[in-house]
Amino acid sequence: MGKTKTELTLSERFETAFNRIHKVLKQTVKQADSDKFTELVYKGHNHVLIRHYKEDLCQYAKLRNAIVHEKIDVDYYIAEPHLDVVEEIERIADEFEEPRTGLSISTKEVYYFYEDDHLKDVLSCMKKTGHTRFPIYNKEDKYRWLLTTKEIISWLTNQFDNPKMDLEKVKVKELYQKDEKRVVFISQNTTVFEIEDIYDEDEGNTDKIEAIIITATGQKTEKPNGIITSWDLLEVALAEE
């Protein structure tokens, strides 16, 4: 039977937390040349959490090497890290093992409409909330497409000289365009790491992802719990700096 946390020395606690982080790095960082801790840290700079703790992780790697390489025996270290350092690396290990979910950084108050709803209601919602993207559903409650302010403005501009256009009667489905925006559905448990991977894999694609829609299990037949755009990830990255 292994030791409990209270029975471990500070060095043992530090090494345990370090190994927990290393395990997550190996699972998270793709296409690294090796599974060395520091290389994974540098290779994984595109991930918000890794980038945020980059300097700390590199320092921990140096400290870990000093502690482990100077072991006299399997369970005997000649040096002990400070308690504050141990508690901090344990906290970071916890965060790496349970990273933030996409739902935590998304626009949680999602407004969606049906194809037979009126455009004036969408415009009213835009004015009231400032939202710019609206999932559109059909009568069977199935997701159909994503309506954006860009499409709304384009449609209104084209109708500007139309004397027969009655905004009160225009329905959402009249704004549908065949070149609909790319949307990805994910479950509410999807982590920020996984979402970053989705956008990384989309890099270089001319048909960019317009938004990621979060539902309970990631199904299109479920109503949205949140919406994420690349800007949301950028805001998180800036906040973490």
Report H helices in 29-53.
37-43, 48-52
Structure tokens at 63: 């400290």
Structure tokens at 120: 């004036």
Domain boundaries, the chain: 5-99, 104-240
Nearest to 104 by CA among 238, 235, 226, 237: 226
- Tens of pLDDT along 106-148? 876 899 999 999 999 999 999 999 999 999 999 999 999 999 9
Residue written as tokens 């350092």? 85
Q: What is the pTM of this model?
A: 0.72
Is residue 37 scored above 60 in pLDDT? yes
Strands of the chain, DSSP E: 113-114, 133-137, 143-148, 182-187, 209-215, 226-228
Q: What is residue 89's three-state secondary structure?
A: helix
Contacts of 28 (CB under 8 A, 6+ apart): 44, 47, 50, 193
Could you give the CA distance from residue 68 to residue 14 in angstroms, rounded to a whole number? 10
Could you give the CA distance from residue 111 to residue 107 in angstroms, rounded to a whole number? 10
Could you give the CA distance from residue 35 to residue 2 in angstroms, rounded to a whole number? 26
Q: Please compute the mean of the pLDDT values over residues 71-81 and round it to a whole number.
A: 64
**Cβ–Cβ under 8 Å, residues 233 and 195:** yes
Is residue 197 scored above 70 in pLDDT? yes
- Tens of pLDDT along 162-194? 877 888 899 999 999 877 778 999 999 998 888
Q: Which CATH number fits domain 104-240: 3.20.20.70, 3.10.580.10, 2.60.40.10, 3.90.550.50?
A: 3.10.580.10
Task: Provide the residue type at 195 as one letter.
Answer: I
CA angle 230, 233, 236 (to 5 degrees): 155
Bridge partners, 73 (sequence order): 76
